[in-house]
Amino acid sequence: MRQFLTSTVAASALALMMSLAPAAAEERDPNAKPGGEIIITYKDDVATLDPAIGYDWQNWSMIKSLFDGLMDYEPGTTTLRPELAESYEISEDGQTFTFKLRPGVKFHNGRELTADDVKYSLERVVNPETQSPGAGFFASIKGFDEVANGSTTSLSGVTVVDPLTVKIELARPDATFLHVLALNFAHVVPKEEVEKYGADFGKNPVGTGAYKMTDWTLGQHVVFEKNPDYWNKGLPYLDKITFEVGQEPIVALLRLQKGEVDVPGDGIPPAKFQEVMADPDQKARVVEGGQLHTGYITMNTTMAPFDNVKVRQAVNMAINKDRIVQLINNRAVPANQPLPPSMPGYSKDYKGYAYDVEKAKALLAEAGHPDGFETELYVMNTDPNPRIAQAIQQDLAAIGIKANIQSLAQANVIAAGGEKDGAPMIWSGGMGWIADFPDPSNFYGPILGCGGAVPGGWNWSWYCNEELDKKAAEADSITDPTKAEERYKMWGEIYEAIMADAPWVPVFNEQRFTMRSPRMAGADALYVDPVHIPINYDYVYVTDVQ
């Protein structure tokens, strides 16, 4: 659900054996003084802080500040670097990765990290009992299928060589694997804490990150405090972050204007956007973040009548995307396919489904529904999403479909989508896909591939085309950077085939806007960091520290 980069870095790395020395300590912002605290508001409570489970834009960067993985990105960039790994080597065939861990890294409970923790964490995320929406990312690791089908809990491809060395063998070359190891799902957790809290680990997170959670009062706030034992010395800058929940976005904006909060986490309310942009003082504090994003409507392909492709195609023709873009102050462009236009693999010549009410009605009649039908449309309850859902509802009514809107908290919509019989239709707004890593494959596996069509997954259309899964694996086995265009062409063909099956209505590709308080700094970390969307909390600071 995040960022942008071509896969050249990963592809070239996989083409030869290499070893990276430990990343040099980052050059600290000379203007930053350690200390101070900030307040961030959200309308809804956080769903979870378990890296194996959390997968929405609200908790993504929070989790990144509590946990670490073998790999990460240079701050504010999409350049990969080792994180918990001190160095790594890749075999000539691109299928064996050997990681040397940094010595002396401690979990928040004081225990030192070892290679056993890495193996445990990877096996935990692919274990079907965990119900991780990210399990499919690790499908190239040897032994994945056996763990996924429940016949074992041990990944044969992950070997503990010694306490600070772990080897990962792949069943096939994977051009995206280093990016996968930078995902939250690959972050390392301590087995004893997971076993201690069980299903409540997400409410009692223990990692190795720059911050540790010290308080979570449901419905009120979550508090992070600086980790004094953090391995990356000098970080983070702040002593404390408080996430206040239950704040309506308009109220949060008013509090920001009064100096009571530092970031309205849900962004600038659409109803106030023009007003804010017309005020030079407020506009100066607006931060715009580019993102590889697609907002879409899912249709559950396993539930009647959406198990009929003609019904799904009719819905695609019924949606007036231009009108929806206008509802969000034109902060987006209409979409015609899953990939956003700036992503490699985007099919520039593909036209998609034109808005055509009469053709949509005719297709519905062909599908056996000349008078339409009744269904439910789930939506996140934060503005502008309920208003967008109403526009979708009106468009569907024009072809005879009565869609009853279920406006719920983000976590409840996500939960419904992760149940096979949970939600017939979902408008993804507020949860729409932002690339986890900058590669066309990322818009497939977790949200359109068979691996994502699992309980707790994010493939809310429950679409599974095994032939396309095979073609996707074939595309990702192309690791030679000189053949990148061939690989991107294959991905474009995959997405065009998906659109023929129409499990989605791609609606728009959106930019993100928010604001900050005058005292808050660390510009590269605030809503423009392409990986830690919405905020890289490790690198923000305040200017009024004495």
- In the three-class reduction of DSSP (H, G, I as helix; E, B as strand; rest coil), residue 177 is classed as helix
Q: Which two tokens stand for residue 188?
A: 């390392």
Amino acid letter at 312?
R
pLDDT at residue 62 in the model: 95
Query: What is the distance between the alpha carbons of residues 494 and 478, in angstroms, rounded to a whole number?
Result: 15
Tokens at residue 73, please?
């990105």
Distance (Å, whole) CA 45 – CA 58:
9
Burial category of 470 from C-beta neighbours within 10 Å (exposed 0-12, middle 13-18, buried 19 and up): exposed
CB 117 within 8 A of CB 217: no
Given a contact cutoff of 8 angstroms between Cβ atoms, the answer to whether 256 and 262 are in contact is yes
Using CA atoms, how far apart are residues 30 and 20, in angstroms rounded to an integer? 27
Predicted confidence at residue 263, as pLDDT, reads 93
Q: Looking at this protein, which amino acid is placed at residue 256?
A: L
Give the angle subtended at the CA of 29 by the CAs of 27 and 33, to the nearest 5°: 125
Q: By the 8 A CB rule, do 10 and 176 touch?
A: yes
Supply the DSSP string of 435-458, one letter for each residue. -SSSSGGGGTTTTTSGGGSSTT-S
Tokens found for residue 138: 């690790």
Distance CA 384, CA 530 (A): 23
| Residue 58 contacts residue 44 (beta carbons within 8 Å) | yes
Please give the single-letter amino acid code of residue 535. I
Q: Please tell me whether residue 182 adopts helix, strand or coil conformation.
A: coil
User: Please, are residues 427 and 379 in contact by the beta-carbon 8 Å criterion?
Assistant: yes
Separation CA 270–CA 291 (nearest Å):
18
CA distance 101 to 166: 8
Cα distances (angstroms) measured from residue 364 to each of 83, 188, 293, 463: 53, 49, 30, 20
Q: Are 25 and 81 in contact (CB under 8 A)?
A: no
Say whether the peptide bond before residue 305 is cis (omega within 30 degrees of 0). Answer: yes
499 contacts 337 by C-beta, under 8 angstroms: yes
Q: Residue 478 contacts by C-beta under 8 Å, 6 or more apart in sequence?
A: 11, 173, 175, 484, 486, 487, 490
Q: 494 near 444, Cβ under 8 Å?
A: yes
According to the model, what pLDDT value does residue 546 have?
A: 77
In angstroms, the CA 188 to CA 38 distance is 27
Neighbours of 140 (CB within 10 A): 22
Residues of the chain with pLDDT under 70: 1-28, 289-290, 523-534
Check residue 18 and give its pLDDT. 33
Q: Residue 215 is encoded by which pair of tokens?
A: 């308080």
**Bridge partner list, 36:** none
In the chain, the N- to C-terminal Cα span, in Å, equals 38
Question: Which residue in 295, 300, 346 sits closest to 324, CA to CA?
Answer: 295
Q: CA 380, 198, 455 angle in degrees (round to 5)?
A: 45
* Maximum Cα–Cα distance across the chain: 71
For 15, the token pair is 């083409």
**What are 382's strand-pairing partners?**
none
Q: What is the pLDDT of residue 365?
A: 98
341 C-beta neighbours (distance < 10 Å), count: 14
Counted residue by residue, the chain has a size of 546
Exposure on the CB side of residue 84, measured as CA atoms within 13 A: 30
Distance CA 463, CA 450 (A): 7
